[in-house]
Structure 1
Amino acid sequence: MSTPDTTQLLLDPRRGARAMLLSLTCFSGNALLLKDLASHRNIDPWMSLTFRAAVGLLLTIVLFAPAGTLRLRRSFQSWLLASRGVLGALGTAAYYTTIGPLGAGKATLIGNTWAIFAAIMAAFVLHERLGLVKLAGILLALTGLSLLTGLAPGTMAQFGHHEMIALIGAVMAAAVVVVIRQLTRTETSATIFSSQCIYALLLSLPLAAGGFTTLNLMDVTLLTAAALCASVGQLAMTEGFRFLSVAAGGAFQMTVPLVISLSSIALFAEPFSVAQALGGVLVLWGSYHTVVGGFSKKV
């Protein structure tokens, strides 16, 4: 989730809320479709990532190329854009490969900790201030993460590799946010988003190439639906942040993991222990305060 420019915010709560509700619905649909594709249809996550990248790139070209705001060549000419593309591709790949084994709820909750890692990185790279609210949010989220994953002092040897992949993906997503904050000074949103699609396609297509012949019509339909959900969800989130304060927009986005977790429990019987459920709540609570902590006095 990219941070909006509060100086250009045009507050329109109803319009912003509609966009955020669309984003919430699409992101939840994407995660649940990915879980179904991985667990019930045995679709390789690299195939899902290939469809997401291809559909996202096509949608970006259709929507933004006619207006002249899309510059695809910049993805190969700017090292910062290339960094955004590579890190974004790897972070998304980490999320896609862990939804199947971990469940949509846990994978999304772990991935949601990008907010705390982004705040820490921004403090060193962008010299952003870590206030008391942000620090408290970071501590809450880290405590929740330890409960959610079962990670505690002396237990690293038992820490599952899927949890580790999801955590590495969250760190990469945090790095993407820091890079995006710098890119927004020189690049359009369409160009920034397309860079991830390009590099994700370059990463996933060679790994998924052998599986295209095994896909049936329903597989293609569900893969396309999941990809459209991801792309529309991203665009709707960006639109929502144009018309909502960071606090309001952040609140909407922090409900995404909650909705996905509850839906995954209902639809796929994803198991959550009491400790993991408490950890998930702390991750959401801490991440929300970390996201809005630096903006609460401005908007």
Structure 2
Amino acid sequence: MLMLLSTVCFTANVLLIRALGEFATVNVWLISCTRFVVGLVMILALYRQEFQPRHLYQNRQLISRGLAGGIGVYAYYLTVIHIGPGRATFINNTYVIFGALLAVWMLGERFTAARATGSTMALGGLALLTNPFAAGAVTSIYDLLAIGGAFLSAYIVVTIRQLHASEHTSTIFAAQCVYGLLVCSVPAALHPEPIAPLAWAVMLGAGICAGAGQLAMTRAFRELPVAEGSLLQMIVPVGIALGGFALFGEHFTRHELLGAALILGGTTYTSLRR
């Protein structure tokens, strides 16, 4: 239930950013920085006793998790700009497979036939929903960068599982916020721009949704295997598509609707088998 809650929060985050683009042009790096700052405020407000800030520079795994998260955000936004959101999202979400295989090696988890089937269905559905390899698309260095970002995401979820043996959820999330802020603050500072109060309010709401989603996801990975937890995150593109239809008048073809059905079918199949 926590992982499902995180998908709702992440979907709301993206839809708020989508709404922000309707009336304001805001640097994506500033949006990322706002997200990380809001996350730190939430941690200090909710987990003042459990949070261990000294561990952020004493624990090497926390440092690597934080840096990987910050670089992953940078890589994702860069690939969205250069190869398009559909192609970038599809390639990035292949971390579901990479993470499951990495967990077999690093954590000794089982990559069962049910999880393999569900992952394949969900990835196929995501390909139909995002249409990443449309006519005219060409392979570039940014495709390789997107694959690297998928590997980083796989490493992150496996590391979260490992860190739960010694660290609290709040400290694990704080690593992403602190080191992600270090990575994203530089490009944000290079492009300063005036921001309207309404835009700040929307970014604040988006940051709260992202923070709540990240806390719920991080805590859920304490109990869920990497393959199953990552697979449930594939629901987010479906939620974004439904939100785009209901709120922004976006329309979808038959193959896109089939893709959404495959994602839901793949995640549901795996959960019911468990």
Q: How many angstroms does 1:131 deviate by?
A: 1.5
| Aligned with 1:89 (options 67, 70, 73) | 70
Matched, 1:74 2:44: no
Output the TM-score relative to the length of structure 1: 0.72
Range with bigger deviation, 71-80 or 23-32: 23-32
Matched, 1:129 2:149: no
Residue 44 of structure 1 is matched in structure 2 by 27
Q: How many angstroms does 1:21 deviate by?
A: 7.4
CA distance in 2, matches of 1:161, 1:280: 29
Range with bigger deviation, 39-48 or 137-146: 137-146
What letter corresponds to residue 153 of structure 2 in structure 1? A
Residue 4 of structure 1 is matched in structure 2 by none
What letter corresponds to residue 180 of structure 1 in structure 2? I
Matched, 1:215 2:215: no
What letter corresponds to residue 181 of structure 1 in structure 2? R
Residue 44 of structure 2 is matched in structure 1 by 61
CA distance in 2, matches of 1:165, 1:288: 31
Unaligned runs of 5+ in 2: none
Relative distance call for 1:274 and 1:170 in structure 2 (3 A) is farther
Residue 186 of structure 2 is matched in structure 1 by 206
Range with bigger deviation, 263-272 or 212-221: 263-272
Relative distance call for 1:230 and 1:166 in structure 2 (3 A) is farther
Residue 151 of structure 2 is matched in structure 1 by 171
Unaligned runs of 5+ in 1: 1-15
Q: How many angstroms does 1:275 deviate by?
A: 2.7
Matched, 1:143 2:91: no
Asked if the contact 2:169/2:215 (under 8 Å) is kept, the reply is: no
Q: How many angstroms does 1:39 deviate by?
A: 5.6
| Aligned with 1:230 (options 203, 210, 215) | 210
Asked if the contact 2:35/2:210 (under 8 Å) is kept, the reply is: yes
Relative distance call for 1:134 and 1:236 in structure 2 (3 A) is closer
| Aligned with 1:195 (options 165, 175, 179) | 175
Range with bigger deviation, 37-46 or 157-166: 157-166
Relative distance call for 1:235 and 1:80 in structure 2 (3 A) is closer
Q: How many angstroms does 1:174 deviate by?
A: 2.0
Matched, 1:285 2:260: no
1:73-130 residue CA offsets vs partner (Å, 9 max, x unmatched):
2222222111111122233344556678956x88767655433331122122223222
1:180-234 residue CA offsets vs partner (Å, 9 max, x unmatched):
1111111111110100000110011111124444112122111111111111233
1:267-297 residue CA offsets vs partner (Å, 9 max, x unmatched):
334454433332343344335556x48x82x
What letter corresponds to residue 116 of structure 1 in structure 2? I
Range with bigger deviation, 258-267 or 276-285: 276-285
Residue 259 of structure 1 is matched in structure 2 by 239
CA distance in 2, matches of 1:241, 1:181: 6
CA distance in 2, matches of 1:138, 1:144: 10
How many pairs are equivalent? 272
Asked if the contact 1:34/1:96 (under 8 Å) is kept, the reply is: no
Asked if the contact 1:113/1:283 (under 8 Å) is kept, the reply is: no
Matched, 1:183 2:199: no
Asked if the contact 2:56/2:63 (under 8 Å) is kept, the reply is: yes
Residue 29 of structure 1 is matched in structure 2 by 12
Relative distance call for 1:24 and 1:124 in structure 2 (3 A) is closer
